[in-house]
Structure 1
C-alpha cells in the first residue's frame, strides 16, 4: 500500500524536476558566464579582434550573420554578460541596417527561450497560486492581466529595466507566448536602433582609441522620445482608469 502511495509522488517529483531543468540550466550558465566570460565579452575584446571579424564577414557573409545571431541568442537565453556588446557588434559588422534587424531577431529569440524556460519551471504554478490567492496579490495579478499589452511594452521602452528582468517577469504572471514575442520584438526596436547605430560608428571610435558612449540612451534627445513611448504605452491604462471613475 505504501509503495502505491509513494509512486505518484516520485513521479510528480520527477516531472517537476524535468520542468525546472531548463531554468536550472539557465541559472547555472548565467553564474558560470558571469564568473568566466565577463572579462571576455566586452568592448576591449571587440576592439582587439575587429580586423579578424571584418575579414571573416567579408569572406563568409551568410555564415557570419548566422554565427552572430546564434551567439547573440545564447548570450540572451543564458543571461550571459555582453548583450550590449553584442548589439554594438551587430552594428559594427552589418551597419545600422540590416544590423538592427539581426539584433532584434536574435534578442527576441533569446528572450523567448528564457521566457519559456522560466514559464515551464515556475510560471504556470506561480500564476495559479496568484489566481487562487486573495487580497493584494490577487489585485496585482488582475491588474497585470487587464493591462498586459501596456505593461509589456512599458518594461521594454524603459531603459532602466534590465533586459533579463523584462524576460522573466512576464513568464511568472502567465503572459501568453504570442503576446510576449510581439511586445518584445516591437518593444526593443527603439533601443536596438540607438545601440546598433552606435555600433555602426565604432570604426571611427576605434581609430581615435576611444570607447563608445553606452549612456547615449539617457541623453535628452534620445531619452525624451523613449519616455514619450512609455507615456503612450500607459495611455490605455489611464483611459481605463478614467472610465472606471466615470462609471462609479
Structure 2
C-alpha cells in the first residue's frame, strides 16, 4: 500500500515537475533573451521571409511554441502575441494565439490541479473556504472577469482555478472567451508594429512593449471586466436578499 501511494504521488507531481524543469531549461538556454521585442524586431525581415515561404508550417510551429511558452509559464505571451499580429495579421494571428494560449493554459491548469489542488483545498481556512465556495458558485463569471481585466499575470490566473473545483469545460470556455479582447488588441498592435519599428530604426531609439500600450486600451479592458462582472454581482445581491 505504501508503495502504491508513493507511485501515485509521483505521478501526481510529475506534470508540474516537467513544467518546472522545462522552465529552468528555457532560461538556461537563453530563451528569455530570444523571445524579446528587441531580438525579434531585429530579425523581422528574416521572419517575414520564412513565413512567406513556409506559411502552414509557420502557423503550426508558432502555435506549438506559444502553447509551450504558456504551459511553462514563460514570460513571453505579450511579446509573442504582438509578433503573431506582425507576422500573420491581426485576425489570423489573434485566432492563432487564442487557441494556443487556451491549450497552454489548460495544460498548466491540469498540472497544477493534479499536483496541488486537493492538498491546498483541504488546508484552506474557514474564510478562504467561503471564498472558494463563492468562486465555485459562479466559476465561469469569476474567471471571465479575471481573464478580461489584465490585472494579474496570465500565469497566475492559469494556476489559481486549480485550487478550486472548477470544471475543465468551464475553465477552457471562460479562458478562450476572456482572452479574446486582449489577444486581438495585442495582435492589432502587432500588425501596425512594422511602421513603428521602422521609425525607431530611423531615429536610433529602442522601443519597449509598454510604448505600444495606451491608456485607452487599458480603460477598455477594465470596462469590459466591469460589464462581465454585473451578472455575478446581481446574482450575489439576489441571493443575499433571499437569505
TM-score under structure 1 length normalisation = 0.89
The answer to whether 1:12 aligns with 2:8 is no
The answer to whether structure 1 residue 246 and structure 2 residue 237 are counterparts is no
Conserved 8 A contact 1:195-1:214: no
Larger radius of gyration: 1
1:27 equivalent in alignment to 2:4: no
> 1:229 aligned to 196, 206, 224, which one?
224
Aligned partners of 2:214 and 2:228: how far apart in 1?
A: 19
The alpha-carbon deviation at position 29 of structure 1 amounts to: 2.1
What's the C-alpha RMSD, in Å, of the aligned pairs? Answer: 1.8
Match of 1:4 in 2: none
Tell me how far 1:134 sits from its aligned partner.
Answer: 6.3
Task: Name 1:145's counterpart in structure 2.
Answer: 136
2:47 maps to 1:56: no
Residue number in structure 2 paired with 1:45: 39
The number of residue pairs the alignment matches comes to 237
Structure 1 residue 112 displacement after superposition: 0.8
| 5+ long unaligned stretches in structure 1 | 1-7
Pairwise CA distance, 1:199: 0.8
Aligned pair partner of 2:162 in 162, 171, 184: 171
Query: Following the alignment from structure 2 to structure 1, what is the Cα–Cα distance between the partners of residues 212 and 184?
Result: 12
Q: Which residue of 2 aligns with 1:3?
A: none
Name the SS of the counterpart of 1:188 in structure 2: helix
- Greater shift in the superposed pair: 53-62 or 79-88: 79-88
TM-fit CA distance, 1:206: 2.0
Structure 2 unaligned residues grouped into runs of 5+: none
Q: Give a deviation string over 1:1-29, Cα, whole Å, max 9, x none.
A: xxxxxxx1121011111111111111222
What is the CA–CA distance in structure 2 between the aligned matches of 1:50 and 1:22, rounded to whole Å?
Answer: 34
Shift of 1:119: 1.2
Contact 1:29 1:80 in 2 (8 A): no
Contact preservation (8 Å) 2:79, 2:209: no
